[in-house]
Chains A and B, each alone.
Chain A
Amino acid sequence: GESVGLHLPTLSVQEGDNSIINCAYSNSASDYFIWYKQESGKGPQFIIDIRSNMDKRQGQRVTVLLNKTVKHLSLQIAATQPGDSAVYFCAENAGNMLTFGGGTRLMVKP
């Protein structure tokens, strides 16, 4: 499939290690945030979301942290697997409109 992005920031991790992907958002009025995973040749896939009245939410192997003071969002992936290799986007919602960030490419080394 075609490449999602050629000049994205890249995070390279060893299989089994934990990954942390960061995102800075711009709109202080945003009340809802989502992390998406996009594999080459596919559309974005929902991973986990968090509302602005929370600062942490956990899923299966993934945790999202929200720091509204500095408008920062992070995605933590535990025990990273080769199947986690993809581009990860954060998205913020304000007024029922999603705005996506620039994306980070995660590469998992076996």
Chain B
Amino acid sequence: EAGVAQSPRYKIIEKRQSVAFWCNPISGHATLYWYQQILGQGPKLLIQFQNNGVVDDSQLPKDRFSAERLKGVDSTLKIQPAKLEDSAVYLCASSLTFNEQFFGPGTRLTVL
């Protein structure tokens, strides 16, 4: 079974630039999550989708972050404009049930 795919794996941008990350979940998984993992910390949930609807985005900084999952499969997370403190690994996960989430390899973002 193919796992969660993410791209790009690495991205370096300057502050105030924009960036987008892409996630393809495991086939058939209705629930998709985006997490932010700052170096030395555990992942923090940014947004959770059930099919193409948002279940929880209470921790998403909506002034600069946006996410969509238009057809209920792939998802894109965007940051516009980026700040230095956005430097982190952005993890995508998917699940059939809430209990077991499968994580992708992440995108490592460096903001200079």
Chain A residues at the B interface, C-beta cutoff of 8 Å: 2-8, 32, 34, 41-46, 49, 89, 91, 93, 96-103
- Given A43-B91, A97-B45, A97-B56, A8 contacting B40 (CB threshold 8 A): yes
Query: Could you tell me if A89 and B4 are in contact, using CB atoms closer than 8 angstroms?
Result: no
B44 interfacial contact with A, CB 8 Å: yes
- Given A2-B108, A43-B4, A96-B98, A102 contacting B43 (CB threshold 8 A): no
- Given A3-B39, A5-B41, A101-B42, A43 contacting B99 (CB threshold 8 A): no
Query: Could you tell me if B45 and A98 are in contact, using CB atoms closer than 8 angstroms?
Result: yes
Q: How many A-B residue pairs have CB under 8 A?
A: 56
Interface residues of B in 17-58 (CB under 8 A from A): 39-45, 48, 55-56
Count of B interface residues, CB-CB < 8 Å: 24
Query: Could you tell me if B40 and A6 are in contact, using CB atoms closer than 8 angstroms?
Result: yes
Q: Which residues of A contact B93 (CB under 8 A)?
A: 43
Residue in B39, B102, B103, B108 whose beta carbon sits within 8 Å of that of A5 in the complex: B39
Interface of chain B, main secondary structure: loop
Q: Which residues of B contact A45 (CB under 8 A)?
A: 103
B80 interfacial contact with A, CB 8 Å: no
Query: Could you tell me if B103 and A103 are in contact, using CB atoms closer than 8 angstroms?
Result: no
Query: Could you tell me if B43 and A44 are in contact, using CB atoms closer than 8 angstroms?
Result: yes
For residue A56, give the distance in angstroms from its CB to the closest CB of chain B.
18
Q: Which residues of B contact A89 (CB under 8 A)?
A: 42-43
Query: Could you tell me if B103 and A43 are in contact, using CB atoms closer than 8 angstroms?
Result: yes
Residue in B42, B45, B104 whose beta carbon sits within 8 Å of that of A103 in the complex: B42
Tell me, in angstroms, the Cα distance from A99 to B44 when the chains sit together.
Answer: 7
Beta-carbon nearest neighbor of B44 in chain A: A100
Beta-carbon nearest neighbor of B100 in chain A: A46
Q: Which residues of A contact B103 (CB under 8 A)?
A: 43-45
